[in-house]
Amino acid sequence: MSNVVVLDYGSSNLRSVAKALETVSEGRDNIAISNDPSTILKADKVVFPGQGAIGQCMRSLKEQELDQVIRECINNKPFLGICLGLQSLMDVSEEDGGVDGLGILSGKVMRFQSNVRDENGALYKIPSMGWNQVYQTQNHALWQGIEDGSRFYFVHSYYVVPEQEANTAGRTDYICRYTSAAAHDNLFATQFHPEKSQHDGLQLLKNFLNWKI
């Protein structure tokens, strides 16, 4: 049985993430929500979910000294980031007037361009909210059992631009083609919400629980 910790820095979607993990675990893993550094560091696997604004996210991480905990966890155990859990891994974000991220993945977070129209002349809405396809750009354990081009649920106005092409694990088209999943060693992070993405989202979470590094 693995000990899996959902990192609690004040995000509002912790329960849904933990519940989805419990569902796919079927009792084989211990799923806990915690903001205690020692508990997180002792975990076998860590999930970093997030939604809202990155400025508040980074302040909360630093106030609770969870920024250093995240860096240490990423060095030695399977780590899954979701939504802000992806964006905060980058060097810097345009959101909130410019916010420094954790700098774990080289790159930046940019806002979708406004006033862009689709092929039918309709304005793209910001935030991007709803189902969209993810095109896999590398063979990864967390894509096992998930068809290329499968649809996942998104809610976001910003997207990541990694400096290293090798860090992109999936791409999605909305206003532009952008990185919707990133990977590096034992780190995997998604812009979409697997806990809200029904069968394929649950499959990704199951793959994470089964992931061996």
DSSP-assigned letter for residue 103: -
> What pLDDT, in 10s, does the model give residues 100-158?
999 999 999 999 999 999 999 999 999 999 999 999 999 999 999 999 999 999 999 99
Establish whether 83 is a catalytic residue. yes
The sign one gets for the Cα dihedral 94, 95, 96, 99 is: negative
Query: How many angstroms separate the CA atoms of 165 and 176, rounded?
Result: 16
Q: Name the band, by pLDDT with cuts 50, 70 and 90, for residue 10.
A: confident
The domain segmentation of the chain, as residue ranges, is 2-210
Choosing from 73, 156, 184, 193, the catalytic residue is 193
Choosing from 57, 73, 95, 195, the catalytic residue is 195
Establish whether 156 is a catalytic residue. no
Closest CA to 74 of 112, 115, 41: 41
Choosing from 57, 73, 83, 95, the catalytic residue is 83
Closest CA to 101 of 155, 57, 47: 57
Residue 32's CB: how many other CB atoms inside 10 A?
16
pLDDT surpasses 90 at 26: yes
Are the C-beta atoms of residues 168 and 188 closer than 8 Å to each other?
no
Torsional class of 202: left (φ above 0), alpha (ψ -120 to 50), beta (otherwise) = alpha
Are the C-beta atoms of residues 90 and 50 closer than 8 Å to each other?
no
The predicted model gives 52-72 an average pLDDT of 94
pLDDT surpasses 80 at 12: no
- Extended beta strands in the chain, E state: 2-7, 29-34, 45-48, 79-82, 92-93, 99-100, 107-111, 128-133, 135-136, 151-156, 158-162, 168-174, 176-184, 187-190
Establish whether 73 is a catalytic residue. no
CATH number assigned to the domain with residue range 2-210, chosen from the 4 options 3.30.360.10, 3.10.20.30, 3.40.50.880, 3.40.50.2000: 3.40.50.880
